[in-house]
Amino acid sequence: MSAADRGGYNPRVLLHFAYATALVFGTVFIHAGCTAAVLGWLHSIAAHHWALRSYWARSAVVGALVFLMSLAAFLESTLWAGLYAMVGALPTFEEALYFSLVTFTTLGYGDVVLHEQWRMLGAFQAANGILMFGWTTALIVAVAQRVFLHRASGAGAG
């Protein structure tokens, strides 16, 4: 019986922590890049005072933001799925992607689970997903307020 089996130090934990740290940095990089791209696009639209005059145009901007940030979340989940497939934590990439999406969104169906030796990664991914969705939610609220409330009050028009 090894020290890990008796509840002692398990060197695999450090490896999983290293994987998780790398993937968290990767998801933050993707999210920050998408956020910067979206904000740059919004800034260019706002430079044309006429661009956001209609309710439908403003709604389309917020809808595009939601769509683009959803794509970011999908890319981030795909990054995690790639690791699961690469290390053999799940048998196929399709199963890894399904598990990753369910975990990243913290839905957690439980119909596909990681083997016991990899389950710590699932917990890290769920925590990462909560943070990324919180970031996205804050961005959507900020943009929606700016696009709808700021424009509705007439500030910045003209």
pTM of the model: 0.83
Write the DSSP string, 17-73. HHHHHHHHHHHHHHHHHHHHHHHHHHHHHHTSTTTT-SHHHHHHHHHHHHHHHHHHH
pLDDT tens digits for range 110-136: 899 998 889 899 999 999 999 999 999
Alpha-carbon gap, residue 43 to 94, rounded angstroms: 38
CATH class of the domain defined by 23-152: mainly alpha
pLDDT tens digits for range 75-100: 999 999 999 999 999 999 999 999 99
